Amino acid sequence: MITNGPKVITAKQLEAIGMPRRTISRRCEPGGQWRMLLPGVVLLQNGEATDEHKIHAALLHSGSDSILTGVRALERYGLRNLPHTDEVHVLIPANRSVSNCGFVHIERSRRLPNPRPRSGVPTAPVHRAVVDAARRTPHKDAITAMMAESVQRGFCLPRSLADELDAGRRTGKALLRGALLPILGGARSVAEADAWRLWQRSKLPECRWNVKIFGADGTYIAQPDGWCDELGFAWEIDSLEHHAGDTGFRDTLARNARYAAAGIIVVQTLPSRLRSEPGKVLAELRAALDSARL
């Protein structure tokens, strides 16, 4: 019982299998064989606790029906664009009296989601974990990155994020709504969110985001970041990182050739210019749109 799994166990469980409390205390003393990670929760080794150890310790500390959420939950789904945090965020029933302790952030909830097992850990669904993580994140870009990746990779729908935000706590919603709005509009990255906001305040013709376009014969052309169907105009937010290397460069050239063959005017913009030179970017867009009207 105490040699398998994550090597984390409660002192009560150790006592239940016959280990005296004084022995547990002695082994958890400085320089001892074990470590007391949280009150009453023991790591059965004396080295540094891993993130996995901390997750299991947090759930033991929180009691039955507790659910992992936030950044640590999203890591278990494989999301990558996540803010750094040392805390383990756990949801518990609203009527339970458990306090924050050490690296554990406890959140009482009357809306406990149906947990999904991820490597043996009861984990909140992605849309709930994203919103819970966003509420603990002060930076809009980090929030947008989480939301965008969760949608871009098919873990949840934009509407699910909006519904979860509406159903949750009222405090702090303004920042989250501001981050979510471009995602609802079709943006799928922080750079695309910047582009979406710039277009929205530009009074330019309607633009759709991340839609696949095809030629008259049904041949696939591209999936531009922004697409003005009225004028046959495409806007690509092309980062150096994404398009660097032989493969990225070759793919970009092939895409631009398909645009040219279809008679589509395309503007390519570096993500950094959306913030450093928004006026110049808008001027370039307006000039390109004027050409598309001819």
- Please check whether residue 270 is in contact with residue 238, taking contact to mean a CB–CB distance below 8 angstroms: yes
Closest CA to 274 of 214, 178, 201: 201
Reduce the DSSP state of residue 53 to 3 states and report it: helix
2 has pLDDT over 50:
no
Q: What is the mean pLDDT of the chain?
A: 93
5 has pLDDT over 60:
no
Confidence category of residue 173, pLDDT binned at 50, 70, 90: confident
DSSP 101: B
Residue showing tokens 């110049």 = 280
DSSP 225: S
pLDDT of residue 169: 76
Residue type, 187: A
pTM for the predicted model, two decimal places: 0.89
Confidence category of residue 294, pLDDT binned at 50, 70, 90: confident
Task: Tell me what percent of the residues of the chain surpass a pLDDT of 90.
Answer: 86
Q: Rounded to whole angstroms, how far apart are CA atoms 53 and 58? A: 9
66 has pLDDT over 60:
yes
Taking residues 125-135, what's their average pLDDT?
97
Reduce the DSSP state of residue 125 to 3 states and report it: coil
pLDDT of residue 215: 92
Taking residues 22-47, what's their average pLDDT?
94
Confidence category of residue 160, pLDDT binned at 50, 70, 90: very high
Distances (CA, A) of 220 to 13, 80, 244, 292: 61, 30, 23, 21
- Please check whether residue 250 is in contact with residue 223, taking contact to mean a CB–CB distance below 8 angstroms: no
- Please check whether residue 250 is in contact with residue 257, taking contact to mean a CB–CB distance below 8 angstroms: no
- Please check whether residue 20 is in contact with residue 38, taking contact to mean a CB–CB distance below 8 angstroms: no
pLDDT of residue 243: 55
